[in-house]
Amino acid sequence: MNDKGNRYAICALKDRRATMAGEIQQMKEGIRHREEQLTHLDATLRVLDPSYRADTIAPKRLRRVKLFGDGELNRLIADALRRAEKPLGSADIAAAIVEAKGYGRASIHALTRRVRANLSYLLSKQRVVKTGDRLAAGWSLPDGTCSG
């Protein structure tokens, strides 16, 4: 690779490292916040029950709820884009999926992040087209894809 190519690669790697370091820092801050909340909760329990011992309560294992079958979210995204007359934002796609699955309007916000992640995957496979940037991005199917 030439010097110019190396320079671009180094710049991209530095940017990726900065992003990862920021994510780690944010996660550590989240853990510190949760530990502080847990300390306050333990203190409250000790006020109400002086014989309370935190080590007697085992942590619960969190289970991820599987909302979609294999490839189902990708198909639902494609269906929403097929029915649309113009490019849709990720929140609009999430709203269409919530309506199709009958989850309730309150779940749109939580589903929007998953939709955004799947759209990035579909974009890497050239199965969707992105216009605009970040949260203002519009998504559509590539030309030549069946609509209807």
Per-residue pLDDT tens digits for 69-105:
889 999 999 999 999 989 999 999 999 999 998 888 8
Structural domain harbouring 113: 72-140
Nearest to 141 by CA among 101, 83, 96: 83
Nearest Cα residue to 92 out of 135, 144, 145: 135
Could you tell me if 136 and 80 lie in one domain?
Answer: yes
Same domain, yes or no: 103 and 51: no
- For residue 99, the domain's CATH number is 1.10.10
Amino acid at the residue 50: P
Is residue 42 a part of any domain in this protein? yes
pTM: 0.55
pLDDT(36) > 70: yes
Letter string b/e over residues 18-54, b meaning 16 or more CB atoms within 10 A of that residue's CB: eeeeeeeeeeeeeeeeeeeeeeeeeeeeeeeeeeeee
Q: What is the number of structural domains in the chain?
A: 2
Asked if residue 104 is part of any domain, the answer here is yes
Residue 65 lies in a domain: no
